[in-house]
Structure 1
Amino acid sequence: MMNLIQTAYSKAEARYVATNAASRAAHETATASLPGGNTRSVLHWEPYPLCISSAKGYTLRDADGHTYVDLLGEYSAGLYGHSHPVLLAAIAETARRGLSYGGPHVAEARLAILIKERFRSIERIRFTNSGTEANLMALAAAKAFTGRHRGKIIVFNGSYHGGVLTFPFGCQDVWGVKGEVKMESKYEVLRALNAPHDFLIATYNDTASVDALIASVSGDDIAAILLEPMLGSGGGVCATLEFLSHLRRRADELGALLILDEVMTSRMYTGGGIQSELNIRPDLTTLGKYIGGGMSFGAFGGRHDVMALFDPRASGSLPHAGTFNNNVLTMNVGVAGLERVFTPEKARELHDLGDEIRGRINSFKDGVLRPGERRLRVLGCGSILVFHFTRTSLENIASPADWKGDEDPRLLDLLHLEMLNDGFYLARRGYLALSLALLSQDGRKELDRFVDAVQRFIVKFQSELIGE
């Protein structure tokens, strides 16, 4: 069975290489200056990635002249699609007035107000340049506010909170090791790359694992619980209301802060994040991705008393520097996007479209699962969809462990190349983030075509999917 998958993949890869010579040449040129020809690891795939030359609406064009429907959506940062006229006008007008002021301007306060209107838990907010920075600042705020300057942070196996806050599935045992760690596995290397907080790794959607960790240390040692309400890099698993409610209760009991990382999920429902639908009120929320209208953006905000730590008018306040925190281009374009494009009504429409596409694909081959048969399962929430090939039913997936055990990643590699061949651009790991551009009549037709392409893939590679 392994040979069946490998044979199918080798054929798809050979076709990819034969039709993407210019991308290959661009990659080889880049390797002379960039390690592996790359400065953003997630965008690399074997044998080499496509070199994108232009983008418009919901389409991308590569160096070889191929056009693709963009279903990756810049890992959720590309919510507006490409070259939206409202955003282009805001960019042009801002550039006309000057790009760097070195002083406050009205757009930063306006963007803050717009975000507060959508996130009831955010009473005050500060801007950063990325979601990674936002999470680093939120953790710093939690330690300062609780007075637990060397406090422990509870995070979850399979979570991702930025380039220096990554906890891939399988890291749990390594992070639990005390003292010096030898660099013998990728998890140990990642531990060295992470910011040097004292992390406790719990199991997602498992209240008992959280309680066990809390019981293993002094409650006064825990400064924060940091959580994605949907695991982004971790495969699209969503937190249950019961789990989030338990974390809220335990944080209160400990005197720790509950931080919701909605960098990827702030787009959900009517644009107020997953917390809005589940009515969970975190102490702090972190944001990023699309809110800057396509510019570099991050933010952290929440309770007034916590955020008051950063009020420069107060004696002993915490400094929070960053040359581009209030970048005039990011602020103005972000305002234009939230006011005039990504309205709550459009947010809901996009959310519902994603749920519709997920439901259609998950309905394929409905019936009794034969022994040993893998099926395509689509996880995620709203307009973020994550594909998996697993024997585990959707209702039994509560953490990455539930699909990691039997998923062959080469099936995702094969799906990726086959979808590229059909003109659809998505992440190698089976991740999709739909953009507003796909709400158009033509965009919806392309999504229909994508659903058909996925169904053809399942039929074509049925033997490979069944597995041993």
Structure 2
Amino acid sequence: MPTSASLAAALDAAREAYGARNPNSLAAFKKATNSLPGGGTRTTLITLPFPLFIESGAGATVTDLDGHKYTDFLSDFTSGIYGKSNEILRQAITTALASGMQFGAHTTHEARLADHLTSRFPSMDLVRFANSGTEANLLAITTALKHTKRTKVVVFSGGYHGSLLAHFHAGEPAGNNVPGALRVPFDFIIAPYNDVEGTKALVGPVANDVGVILVEPMLGAGGCIPADPAFLLGLRDYTKEIGAVLIFDEVQTSRLAPGGRQTLLGITPDMTTVGKFFGGGFAFGAFGGKEEIMSIFDVRRPDHVNHGGTFNNSPLTMVAGSTAIEQILTAERMADLNDRGDRLREKLNSAFGGAGAPFVATGLGSIIQIHCHLAKDDVLPALELLYFGMLERGFWLAQRGTLALNFEITDKDVDEFVEAAVESAAAVVKAST
């Protein structure tokens, strides 16, 4: 059924007010459409009727072209964990920059960062670097298939593993003929998330062809749905049984603890992928695993496999990533950040419930998703109306309701966010009742 008339009217009014407040962003958007399809190069950031254009950022705030300031509760979809102007990283990058930008050669900082990652993640005996989480997952899958000499890749409904490994839903095509998505044409099996027996039922008939099972310990873009520990443990046992490689995509969940959610649960996969903030603010990805798998890249072996990438070991990224792990991504600071996220989620759910608002927050630690439980056709309009209300009150989040905290967010910011969320939700309650 169509969106309710009152909700549609409220959303139209919110869009009109948004447009009137942001003429400079609108002008920038119109200019951008002359050379960029849809005015941008990252679909995740697109907002209708047009996105805001940011001019600067400092600490936990960003400022748009029209001079509006927003407290950043999105943190670039988990990657901006350090805030907008971390002085430790700034100094490290400035010092590294004085020595040169790009060498096309090895530096000691490459092994420095690798040592940190292999020390933190029990599944990483050896590690290789890439330029994004997408690259890391593509390379991890391909490496695992080469290791097992098999062809099929198991992913899960709701999973997201990067721009070319996205939008997996049961019943949709497994290849590249997916509406609204580009997808690498691996031979996918799309299994039900949090359902070991359902996964076995799909995989069992072709188990000898399955080389990889790739899973997020918590669905990220799929709605911040945590994996049941029993589900992950079941996958661990099942991959051992059928001889497949189990890969944990911890690109997002690696912010839950120094060694990711795998260390919190005590479940060690064969391979792990990470990215985002481990580059210290620069583009970064990494994939690592057991020595018997990763040693195929050892150039001292006559049968080694090539893996290139001009910026895989960019000195600035290596220095920034190493500095971040050594001085910022400490166990104590990460625990504090995730405790703050847990409190935010609890406060949101309590406040939404008390106000009779049709929203609920899910997630783990500092990663949160706001869901709407209205009728299906009203869900996206309601989230959009909530989004515009939060922007008007000075808070930055995703239009789809995604939140991710950064180290600059304070308890005071959390309380103010919750207050603004209840006020913004009131417009949804009014329009939907």
Give the shorter-chain TM-score range: over 0.9
- The alignment partner of 2:219 has SS state of coil
Pairing 1:288–2:275 present: yes
- The secondary structure found in structure 2 opposite 1:259 is strand
What is the Cα deviation at residue 374 of structure 1? 6.5
Q: Which amino acid aligns with 2:335?
A: R
What value does the CA root-mean-square deviation take over the aligned residues?
Answer: 1.8
Task: Work out the CA distance in 1 between the residues paired with 2:378 and 2:318.
Answer: 42
Q: Structure 2 counterpart of 1:133, which letter?
A: E
Say whether the 8 Å CA contact 2:280–2:320 is kept in structure 1.
Answer: yes
Specify whether residues 420 and 134 from structure 1 end up closer, same or farther in structure 2 by C-alpha distance, changes over 3 A only: same
Deviation string, structure 1 residues 253-312 (Cα, Å, up to 9, x no partner): 1100000000111110x3221111111100000000011111010000011111111111
SS of the counterpart of 2:274?
A: strand
4-13 vs 427-436, greater mean Cα deviation:
4-13
Give 1:140's aligned amino acid: T
In 2, Cα distance between equivalents of 1:86 and 1:351: 21
Quick one: structure 1 residues 130 and 176, their matched pair in 2 at CA, closer, same or farther if it must change by over 3 Å?
Answer: closer
**Equivalent residue, structure 2, for 1:142:** 144
Partner residue of 1:397?
A: none
Tell me the SS of whatever aligns to 2:101: coil
Instruction: List alignment gaps of at least 5 residues for structure 1.
Output: 392-403
* Structure 2: distance between partners of 1:133 and 1:88: 26
Q: Which runs of 5+ in 2 are unaligned?
A: none
Q: Pairwise mapping of residues 86-235 of structure 1 onto structure 2 (< 5 A)?
A: 86-148=88-150, 151-168=151-168, 171-175=169-173, 187-188=178-179, 190=181, 193-217=182-206, 219-235=207-223
Name the SS of the counterpart of 1:199 in structure 2. Answer: strand
Q: CA shift at 1:244, angstroms?
A: 0.4
Structure 1 stretch displaced more, 203-212 or 404-413: 404-413
Deviations 1:363-390 (A, max 9, x none): 12558x9xxx873110111001100011
Runs of 4+ in 1 over 4 A off after TM superposition: 404-407
- Per-residue CA deviation, residues 312-339 of structure 1 (Å, 9 max, x unaligned), is 1111111110010000010001111111
Q: Residue 299 and residue 22 in structure 1: after superposition, are their counterparts in 2 closer, same or farther (change >3 A)?
A: same
CA apart distance, 1:174? 2.9
CA contact (8 A) 1:389 1:465 kept: no
SS state at 2:372 partner: strand
Whether the aligned pair in 2 keeps the contact of 1:271 and 1:348 (CA below 8 Å) is no
Letter in 2 for 1:387: I
C-alpha change, 1:283 and 1:197, in structure 2 (3 Å) is: same
- Cα distance between partner residues in 2 of 1:408 and 1:429: 10
Q: 1:242 to 1:407 in 2, by over 3 A?
A: farther
**1:90 counterpart letter in structure 2:** A
Give, in angstroms, the shift of residue 176 of structure 1: 5.4
- 1:174 maps to amino acid: E
- Deviation (angstroms), 1:163: 0.9
Partner residue, 2:406: 435
Contact 1:235–1:386, Cα closer than 8 Å, also in 2: yes
Tell me how many residue pairs correspond in the alignment. Answer: 431
Deviations 1:402-445 (A, max 9, x none): xx96861111111111100000010111001100011xxxx321
Q: Where does residue 452 of structure 1 map in the other structure?
A: 419
Q: Which amino acid aligns with 2:365?
A: G
8 A contact 1:152–1:197 mirrored in 2: yes
What amino acid is the match of 1:378?
A
Q: State the one-letter code of the partner of 1:40.
A: R
- Per the TM alignment, residue 188 of structure 1 is displaced from its structure 2 partner at its CA by 4.2
Pick from 237, 247, 253: which aligns with 1:265? 253
Secondary structure at the counterpart of residue 316 of structure 1: coil
What code does the residue aligned with 1:415 have? L
Deviation of residue 112 (structure 1)? 1.1
Query: Deviation at 1:237?
Result: 0.5
Residue aligning to 2:13:
11
Amino acid at match of 1:13: R
1:465 positional shift: 4.8
Partner deviation per Cα, 1:195-240 (whole Å, 9 max, x = no partner): 11100001111122201111232x1100010001111110101100
Q: Percent identical across equivalent pairs?
A: 42
**Cα distance between partner residues in 2 of 1:176 and 1:216:** 17
How far is 1:462 from its partner?
Answer: 2.0
- 1:124-178 Cα distance to aligned partner (Å, 9 max, x none): 1110000000001100111111121xx110101111111111124xx4223258x
1:345-402 C-alpha deviation (Å, 9 max, x unpaired): 10110011000110111112558x9xxx8731101110011000116xxxxxxxxxxx
Does the alignment pair 1:420 with 2:420? no
Matched, 1:253 2:241: yes
Counterpart contact for 2:6–2:432, Cα < 8 Å: no
> Quick one: which amino acid aligns to residue 152 of structure 2?
K
Q: 1:127 to 1:362 in 2, by over 3 A?
A: same
Alpha-carbon distance between aligned partners in 1 of 2:311 and 2:260, rounded to the nearest angstrom: 25
Paired AA for residue 14 in structure 2: A
- Aligned mates of 2:428, 2:102 — CA distance in 1: 54
